[in-house]
């Protein structure tokens, strides 16, 4: 397997943008990534595009506007982990030597999709969903268990939102660039007790793209290549094997595999971008990824270590809570964010001297399984 590098990254503005088409959003991200890479559209040999609520052959529709045609194009769907899936597919193609240069795109227009406006209804054979177990409901149950088992408080959950909205103010691409206090988060409309509106990620439109290539190609264009040191995509096991709902066997196993592949450990990470569709979830992911011991996620949050400027900044982009969550785009966007920090190009939210970063994305609710998929990518310089 060959070494793979991130050569170019690009992103559209994230927000409620009903006037912009999926093609327009995807084109903006793809063109930005191509320009950033120093390559030309004709240099791209393969493309992966992730989307959930968009029409067929989305990648072809976007890339013809960029001048990329007549190559292998693959469209994927894997819930919120779709973007991670596109990156993983591209990584495998380049690592295996099938191609030297490719692009992974994640795109979604949540505000214009009829499917999305129906709040993503459960399938007819999804027993949990048909009985009313929505995503907010799942994370509300987890939050209550965190409070009972690990001493988490409502203020802790609110603090995650305060932190990530503060980070969003440092990111010009974020949907929400506004500071909030703990009191304002707690006073916002109740969605599912104890989760309030400002603890939930918003409906968002947006796109992100990443150009990846073999290390040989990367070294022709940069003296400081960003290496994809670890790439893991994993599906979940049966829920009856999960003995504690506050611990994710899926997330933990994916993290261990990524650390083993990359040759680094959680103690080596300089920053993390992770899935926090609801504020209480971020605390659980600290534990999944080994940033702290099981049950100590609340302590890590309270220590201030996960803020920009802290020992291990988590979601310096603003995360899903502030930047927004255009489902399939998020798994690509997290990789782009980590790459920017490793290149020293993250602006006001820059992690000083960042050398190792982790991009995480979790997705999908499947009756009888812990989750649908988990994708983790570790980048190093």
pLDDT at 134: 85
Contact residues for 274 (Cβ-Cβ < 8 A; gap 6+)? 282, 285, 289, 314, 315, 319, 334, 358, 359, 360, 361
Catalytic residue among 80, 201, 292, 336, which? 80
Q: Given 275, 325, 341, 360, which residue is catalytic?
A: 325
The percent of residues above 70 in pLDDT, for the chain, comes to 98
User: Three-class SS of residue 358?
Assistant: strand
Q: 165 and 279 in contact (C-beta within 8 Å)?
A: no
Q: What is the rounded average pLDDT of the residues 226-232?
A: 98
Tell me the mean pLDDT in the region 139-158.
96
- The answer to whether residue 144 scores a pLDDT higher than 70 is yes
Distance of alpha carbon 179 from alpha carbon 138, whole angstroms = 27
> Whole-angstrom Cα distance, residue 104 to residue 266?
26
CA separation for the pair 120, 368 (Å, rounded) = 19
Q: How is residue 76 written in tokens?
A: 């994927």
The H or E element that residue 252 is part of is helix 249-262
Q: Is the CA virtual torsion 299, 371, 80, 137 positive or negative?
A: negative
Please give the pLDDT value at position 132: 80
Which CATH topology does 4-115+204-228 take?
Peroxisomal Thiolase; Chain A, domain 1 (3.40.47)
200 is annotated as an active-site residue? no
CATH for 126-201+230-380? 3.40.47.10
Q: Give pLDDT, residue 377.
A: 98
Establish whether domains 4-115+204-228 and 126-201+230-380 are of one fold. yes
Q: How far apart are CA 141 and CA 247, in angstroms?
A: 13
Kindly tell me if the per-residue pLDDT of 116 is higher than 60.
no
Instruction: Report whether pLDDT(20) > 80.
Output: yes
Average pLDDT over residues 354-369: 94
pLDDT, average across residues 100-128: 81
pLDDT of residue 117: 57
**Domain extents in the chain:** 4-115+204-228, 126-201+230-380
Q: 249-262 vs 279-288: helix axis angle to the nearest 10?
A: 50
SS3 label, residue 7: strand
Q: Which residues of 12-31 are buried (b: 16+ CB within 10 A; e: fewer)?
A: bbbbbbeebbbbbbbbbbbb
CA 106 to CA 86: how far, in whole Å?
A: 8
- At residue 283 the predicted structure's pLDDT band, cuts being 50, 70 and 90, is very high
Q: Is the pLDDT of residue 152 over 80?
A: yes
Question: What is the structure's pLDDT at 119?
Answer: 59
65 burial (CB, 10 Å; 0-12 / 13-18 / 19+) is middle
Indicate the burial class of 151 (C-beta count within 10 angstroms; 0-12, 13-18, 19 or more): exposed
What is the predicted pLDDT for the residue at 4? 98
261 CA to centre of own chain: 20
* pLDDT for 54: 78
> What pLDDT, on the 0 to 100 scale, is given for residue 113?
73
pLDDT of 201 higher than 80: yes
Going by C-alpha positions, the residue among 346, 30, 70 that lies closest to residue 211 is 30
pLDDT at 191 over 70: yes
Assign 241 a pLDDT band (cuts: 50, 70, 90). very high
Is residue 275 among the annotated active site residues? Answer: no
Q: Tell me how long the chain is.
A: 381
Strands lying side by side in the sheet with 205-214: 72-76, 46-50, 101-109, 205-214, 4-11, 226-235, 373-380, 356-363, 271-273
Closest CA to 106 of 121, 84, 123: 84
Whether 118 has a pLDDT exceeding 90, the answer reads: no
pLDDT at 3 over 60: yes
């Amino acid at each position: 397997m060959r070494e793979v590098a991130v050569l170019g990254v690009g992103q559209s503005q994230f927000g409620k943008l009903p006037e912009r088409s999926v093609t327009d959003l995807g084109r903006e991200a793809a063109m930005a990534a191509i320009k950033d890479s120093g390559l030309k559209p004709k240099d791209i040999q393969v493309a992966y595009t992730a989307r959930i609520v968009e029409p067929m052959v989305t990648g072809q529709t976007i890339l013809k506007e960029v001048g990329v045609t007549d190559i292998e194009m693959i469209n994927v769907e894997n819930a919120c982990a779709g973007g991670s899936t596109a990156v993983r597919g591209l990584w495998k193609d380049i690592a295996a030597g099938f191609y030297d240069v490719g692009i992974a795109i994640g795109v979604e227009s949540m505000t214009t999709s009829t499917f999305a406006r129906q709040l993503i209804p459960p399938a007819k054979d999804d027993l949990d969903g048909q009985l009313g177990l929505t995503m907010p409901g799942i994370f509300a149950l987890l939050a209550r268990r965190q409070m009972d088992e690990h001493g988490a408080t409502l203020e802790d959950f609110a603090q995650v939102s305060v932190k990530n909205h503060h980070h969003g103010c440092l990111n010009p691409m974020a949907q929400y660039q506004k500071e909030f206090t703990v009191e304002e988060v707690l006073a916002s409309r109740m969605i599912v007790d104890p989760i309030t509106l400002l603890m939930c990620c918003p409906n968002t439109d947006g796109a992100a793209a990443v150009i990846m290539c073999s290390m040989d190609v990367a070294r022709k264009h940069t003296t400081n290549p960003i290496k994809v040191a670890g790439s893991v995509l994993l599906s979940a096991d049966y829920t009856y094997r999960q003995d504690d709902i506050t611990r994710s066997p899926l997330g933990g196993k994916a993290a261990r595999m990524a650390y083993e592949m990359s040759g680094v450990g959680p103690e080596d990470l300089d920053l993390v971008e992770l899935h926090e569709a609801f504020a209480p979830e971020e605390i659980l992911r600290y534990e999944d990824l080994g940033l702290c011991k099981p049950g100590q996620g609340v302590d890590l949050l309270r220590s201030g270590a996960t803020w920009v400027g802290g020992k291990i900044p988590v979601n310096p982009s603003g995360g899903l809570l502030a930047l927004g969550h255009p489902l399939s785009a998020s798994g690509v966007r997290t990789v782009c964010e980590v790459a920017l920090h490793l290149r020293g190009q993250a602006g006001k939210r820059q992690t000083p001297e960042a050398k190792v970063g982790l991009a995480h994305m979790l997705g999908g609710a499947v009756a009888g399984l812990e989750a649908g998929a988990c994708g983790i990518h570790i980048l190093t310089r």
